Amino acid sequence: MRALPASAALLSIAILAILGATFGFGTGALAKDKPLSWKPIEDALLRVNDSPPKEWGAYRTGKKNEPLVLQIGSRFLFIQTHDHQVFEIDPSKIGRKTEELLWSPADRPAKPLATSDWTVDDVGAAFVIKVKLDNENALVDLQLPHPPEVGNLPQQAPRQTRRRNYFVGER
């Protein structure tokens, strides 16, 4: 196979870069507006100022706890624990599909809520997120259980093939 001259190679790279920038190849521009499916987290615990809210739900997109959507009553919060940011989501932009929420992170507001006193920790049986919402002076304490690791369960003991009858008289 014959090698291209250096100017032809640079020209082809430049054309690919222009096409990529024009049509958004590799940038995820087409997928950015598509709403994600947020599934509820079973057995999660939530306390706001040391008392449980009446209606609430915690949601995630996959198996990881980053990012999260937290519903407290009719209010929705988008939580990014890695960046220590909480955003309030407009409820009109959230769709529902049975138990799931449909929402795109591209619809989040530009400015996060004022927060402080972040604690993000793994305490063995649960993943704990504590954050203080400064404007409301509310301490949010969310505990997300770890999914059970089925691969680490003990093997069942083999069943006895022969049973003894202890009720038969001695011989």
pLDDT digits over 17-35, tens only? 554 544 444 444 334 578 9
pLDDT band, residue 123 (cuts 50/70/90): confident
Domain assignment present for residue 24? The answer is no
CA distance 13 to 28: 20
Instruction: Tell me how far the alpha carbon of residue 131 is from its chain's centroid.
Output: 17
pLDDT band, residue 72 (cuts 50/70/90): very high
The phi, psi pair for 125, rounded to 5°, reads -85, -15
Per the prediction, the chain carries an average pLDDT of 80
Tokens of 137: 């002076």
CA distance 59 to 61: 7
Domain assignment present for residue 93? The answer is yes
CA distance 142 to 70: 9
Domain assignment present for residue 170? The answer is no
Q: How many domains does the chain have?
A: 1
pTM of the model: 0.68
Q: What pLDDT sits at residue 113? A: 95
The answer to whether 24 and 46 have CB atoms below 8 angstroms apart is: no
Domain assignment present for residue 27? The answer is no
Domain assignment present for residue 120? The answer is no
Q: What pLDDT sits at residue 158? A: 61
Domain assignment present for residue 121? The answer is no
Containing structural domain, residue 100: 32-113
CA distance 45 to 63: 17
76-113: pLDDT as tens digits? 999 999 999 999 999 999 999 888 999 999 999 999 99
Tokens of 41: 């987290």
Domain assignment present for residue 144? The answer is no
Q: What pLDDT sits at residue 79? A: 95
Check whether 15 has a pLDDT greater than 70.
no
Domain assignment present for residue 73? The answer is yes
pLDDT band, residue 160 (cuts 50/70/90): low
CA distance 81 to 115: 12
